[in-house]
Amino acid sequence: MNIKKHIPNLITLLNLFCGCIAIVFASRQDFEMAFYFVCLGIFLDFFDGFFARLFKVSSPLGLQLDSLADMVTSGVVPGFVMFFLLSSSQHEISAHPMIPYLGFIVTLGSCYRLANFNIDTRQTDSFIGLPTPANALFILSLPLVLKYSDSIFTLEILTNQWILLAITLLSAYILNAEIPLFSLKLKKFNFKDNALQIVFLSLSLLLLFFFQYLGIPLLIILYILLSVLNNKMAIK
């Protein structure tokens, strides 16, 4: 029995396990622990592909397992969190009890992206649309920004039902938008070929250092903006 061929799939299942635990914590409104388990799941998601390439055991089964695990960790969990944010928001659009359920539009957008990713041959070295793990980190950071921020302006924004619904719709759109996003993989060991990646990673560290949890949504926005700018420069 070749044990090596099962290691990547086992790591993928551990990603799924982390997503399941994150759902439990989110249901208890312990968003900090939910965030940490999603981060662990995303970490494992990176290494399942790494070990599949290392052991040369990539398979169609592994590809499907990866998407199914991501659907929970990076799809269901952020939708669940947005549901709770909308449930506790102020400036209500209406008192209709179905409004918070619109938070699961994030989950629907994630599902569509993951299915499309599996059949899109253009996304081997870079991405088209925001990857679901990045979107999940963006959404899961919002309740933590609310918890630890002293800014009245930030609190007003993230408890406004109109703004939360706008974030929900924008999230589903940007997941599936035809916007090429640069890869974070280092191509060669020199600054010239990796300048964009190095600049982004350096700015990301600064954002996280100075803004803590608020730095997470800011660096996701930075990633999108740098990609759009890079695309415009490439056309010229």
| 129 residue type, one letter | G
Bridge partners of residue 160, in order along the sequence: 90
Q: What is the pLDDT of residues 84-137, one digit of tens each?
A: 999 988 666 666 788 899 999 999 999 999 999 888 777 666 789 999 999 999
Question: Which stretches in the chain have pLDDT values below 70?
Answer: 1-2, 55, 57, 90-95, 123-125, 185-193, 235-236
Q: Evaluate if pTM is beyond 0.85.
A: yes
Residue with the two structure tokens 């916007």: 179
Q: Enter the tokens of residue 187.
A: 């191509």
**If DSSP codes are grouped into helix, strand and coil, which group holds residue 220?**
helix
